[in-house]
Chains A and B, each alone.
Chain A
Amino acid sequence: MTVNWLQVLLLCFPIRIAFDLVMVLPVSAAPSPNRDVWLVPLLVIPVAWLVGAIVIKLGSIFPDKTIIQYSRTLLGPVFGSILALLYAWWFIFFAALGVRISSDFFLNSVMIFTPVSVLMGLTLLTSVIAARRGLTTIALVNQVLGPVMLGLIWMLIFLSLNRLRPSNLSPFMAGGLGNLLTNAVTPMAVCSDIVNLAMVIPFMDNPAHASRVVKWGVPLGALHLMAIVLVVISSLGIDNAALATYPGLSVARRIAFGEFVQRVEPALLTVWLGGVFVQVTLNLMWASQAMAQGFNLRCYKPLVLPLSVLVGLVALLLGENTLEYTALFDPTFFGPYGFTFSLVIPSLLLLVARIKRPAIKSPPETQT
């Protein structure tokens, strides 16, 4: 069960872009409208690189272990299991967020009479099947989906070009650097989920190539995000973009290229569906693996189904409506929450690894 670095690269950044294509996180998560948020992806790059560097360093110390497994080695079985539970929650939360956002998106825009539980159930069912198959299957599916998603994203950007109004981007930096930094907190915290690479490194055919994933994946993702934000702000204007629940969909609906290319939303929905499927599947699989490795089980697969039910329940508990759960993207919550899991815990683990390095003796792991 191994994957190469290109497959991991494709697993990392097209999913993030697929999400941002609809939600346009720097715009929708901004506490106040700011037309300079297209610069946010540039601020995301160093933070994601820092998180990636810590994960790669840990991966080089423990090339055959996931973050859960080396937590047990470094902190002992009790604290290791607690950390496993915390990371299982982290993955469940992201899977639930993906399920909820995608279900609400379809409910609000396309399938307005379908019960939300049916949409959630269908999303989770496909993800359960893939998650039980393992990382190689997901990577192979994504090898087909990823380039299609990227192609459609670029087609949408290209078709939007005649709608761009560069005047919507001025005045430049009117809100000041402080406002821009506040707006960058949530995208930084969300994009620092590159920490999840710590669950993949041991399954790479060459763990040393994980650095390539971080080196190329982070800027590629950020530059794509920057292009999307630029298109959204310059075609809608920051006030309309900030008011829209799904700014990306609003842009796609305006696309009209001559008289023959119109109503291109299905392309956007295809990308969105592909992104949601891969994101939910990966997080569901990682949540199951975190639980299995945390409690030293032989196999994670029996945990996938009950955890998928929990993901569906957490998705419902995220909030009564779209407004309530998008409030979770507020920087005062998502900043401390995201950075705790992506930066603080891995940094502490690296510190402990440095201190205990000579004494580390890996206990036999039986995880599959």
Chain B
Amino acid sequence: MLALLILLFLVIILIDVPPLLRDKMYRELAVFSVLMAIAVLYSLGQFYNWPLPNPVRALETVFRFQP
């Protein structure tokens, strides 16, 4: 499963990064890298059961109305 995850991320990087570098789209590359970093972190977190903050629970804390 971990190997599949790594393969998935490599495929995504191979699809998107070379055109971004070729066209000198560094701003796009920066946003892409941040998103990929979050995706890798949370994917590994799911795989190894790391206690990462759950954005959905955070959302509930902010928006759930307590009558």
List chain A positions with a Cβ less than 8 A from chain B: 89, 93, 291-292, 295-299, 302-303, 305-307, 309-310, 313-314, 316-319, 328, 332-333, 335-337, 340
Contacts and interface: CB of A to CB of B under 8 A. Distances in A.
13 contacts: A291-B31, A295-B31, A297-B27, A298-B25, A302-B19, A305-B16, A306-B36, A310-B42, A314-B56, A317-B56, A328-B56, A328-B60, A336-B64
Contacts of B12: 305-306, 309
Nearest to B30: A295
B48 interface: no
Contact of A313 (B28, B31, B42): B42
Given A305-B12, A310-B42, A337 B59 contact: yes
Interface string B20-31: 100001011101
Contact of B27 (A295, A316, A335, A337): A295
Contact of B28 (A298, A317, A333, A337): A298
A297 B43 CA distance: 26
Contacts of B27: 295-298
B56 A336 contact: no
Interface in B32-67: 32, 35-36, 38-39, 42-43, 46, 54-56, 59-60, 63-67
Contacts, number: 79
B3 interface: no
A307 B35 contact: yes
A342 to B, nearest CB: 13
B51 to A, nearest CB: 13
A134 B43 CA distance: 27
A310 B56 contact: no
B67 A332 contact: yes
B56 A318 contact: yes
4 closest Cβ pairs, A-B complex: A306-B35, A309-B39, A337-B63, A332-B65
Contacts of A291: 31, 35
A303 B25 CA distance: 12
A333 B36 contact: no
Interface of B: 8-9, 12, 15-16, 19-20, 25, 27-29, 31-32, 35-36, 38-39, 42-43, 46, 54-56, 59-60, 63-67
A59 B21 CA distance: 35
Contacts of A336: 63-65
Contacts of A340: 63
A9 B20 CA distance: 35
Contacts of A319: 56
A125 B63 CA distance: 31
B55 A317 contact: yes
Contact of B66 (A297, A306, A332, A335): A332
Contacts of A337: 59, 63
Given A298-B27, A309-B43, 4 more contacts: A291-B31, A307-B35, A313-B39, A314-B56
A310 B39 contact: yes
Contact of B43 (A296, A307, A313): A313
Contacts of B31: 291-292, 295, 297, 303
A292 B16 CA distance: 15
Most buried by A among B29, B31, B42, B46: B31
Nearest to B8: A309
Nearest to B9: A309
B45 to A, nearest CB: 9
A335 B39 contact: no
